[in-house]
């Protein structure tokens, strides 16, 4: 009985939302038809923001520093024994971390991805955040050919295509990295189940780690039910409007 009441409330809410959306769409259509030019979006004046910044490293120099650290000679601390990392460094991704410097270096050292894969980072779009001028963002669309044994799986020659990822480095005033993190921004692309980072490599060669964070996204039963109820409510509202 309680479950029935719960879903009845959801249907009522979804129906109300669908009706409200229909009315809003009609109002928006009328409003747009009377507007000659669109209202400009609120865009940050980057030059002004950087001019007001007290961070001592310029955006141009910070981008050069980020590219150096991401490059093959430094590898974000994995090739220089962590020399580029600040003592208070943390790694923090979407579902992992924060990890301190020692744990970060230990984890990446244990994976040894470059021993098993021919990796191309395909990095691009480096820019400094005007609202946080010590942070550099960039995109990566990694590809990796499985050329040696990895996690007990012999080389397959398979080329992994990870989904697009957005990465960042935060720097201190001495140019050392305080934080490194990344986030998948389009889980529908690639062939690693929408997983990025090391999780994408494990899944890509068929080594499922077994916990939810290392598996492709799957909506919960309750969320799927809410979607179906909402779709039904919208259909009923459309039929009523016709």
List C-alpha distances in Å: 180 to 62, 144, 145, 169: 14, 21, 25, 5
CA separation for the pair 23, 144 (Å, rounded): 49
Band of the pLDDT at 29, cuts 50, 70, 90? Answer: low
Would you state the pLDDT for residue 16? 44
Band of the pLDDT at 66, cuts 50, 70, 90? Answer: very high
pTM: 0.76
- Each residue's pLDDT tens digit, 86-108: 999 999 988 787 999 999 988 87
CA separation for the pair 159, 143 (Å, rounded): 7
Q: What average pLDDT does this structure show over 30-50?
A: 74
Least confident piece of the model among 56-65, 75-84, 128-137: 75-84
Both structure tokens of 23? 């009315």
Choose among 217, 12, 5, 188: nearest CA to 94.
217
CA separation for the pair 53, 62 (Å, rounded): 13
CA separation for the pair 15, 3 (Å, rounded): 18
Calculated CA dihedral for residues 232, 234, 239, 242, nearest 10 degrees: -170
Would you state the pLDDT for residue 28? 55
pLDDT, averaged across the chain: 84
| Strand pairing class (117-120; 143-146) | antiparallel
Domains of the chain: 2-40+220-241 (no CATH), 55-209 (3.10.450.50)
List C-alpha distances in Å: 14 to 65, 220, 224, 228: 50, 19, 14, 10
Q: What average pLDDT does this structure show over 78-91?
A: 94
Would you state the pLDDT for residue 4? 40
Both structure tokens of 36? 């000659």
Calculated CA dihedral for residues 17, 22, 24, 29, nearest 10 degrees: 160
Considering just the CA atoms, what is the radius of gyration of the chain in Å? 24
Both structure tokens of 88? 């208070």
Choose among 167, 90, 158: nearest CA to 122.
167
Q: Is the dihedral of CA 237, 240, 241, 242 positive or negative?
A: positive
Judge contact between 86 and 178, C-beta under 8 A: yes
């Amino acid at each position: 009985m309680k479950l029935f009441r719960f879903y009845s409330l959801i249907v009522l809410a979804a129906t109300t939302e669908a009706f409200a959306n229909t009315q809003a769409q009609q109002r928006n259509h009328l409003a747009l038809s009377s507007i000659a030019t669109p209202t400009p979006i609120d865009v940050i004046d980057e030059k002004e923001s950087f001019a007001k910044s007290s961070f001592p490293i310029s955006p141009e120099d910070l981008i050069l520093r980020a590219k150096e650290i991401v490059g093959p000679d430094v590898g974000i601390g994995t090739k220089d024994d962590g020399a580029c990392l600040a003592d208070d460094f943390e790694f923090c991704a979407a579902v992992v971390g924060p990890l301190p410097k020692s744990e970060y270096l230990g984890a990446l050292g244990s994976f040894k991805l470059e021993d098993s894969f021919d990796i191309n980072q395909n990095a691009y779009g480096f820019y400094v955040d005007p609202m946080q001028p010590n942070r550099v963002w960039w995109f990566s669309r990694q590809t990796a050919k499985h050329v040696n044994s990895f996690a007990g799986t012999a080389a397959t020659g398979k080329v992994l295509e990870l989904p697009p990822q957005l990465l960042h480095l935060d720097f201190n005033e001495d140019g050392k990295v305080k934080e490194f993190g990344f986030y998948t921004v389009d889980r529908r692309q690639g062939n690693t189940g929408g997983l990025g980072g090391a999780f994408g490599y494990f899944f890509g060669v068929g080594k499922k780690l077994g916990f939810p964070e290392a598996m492709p996204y799957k909506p919960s039963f309750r969320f799927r039910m809410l979607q179906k109820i909402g779709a039904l409510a919208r259909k009923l509202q459309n039929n009523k409007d016709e």
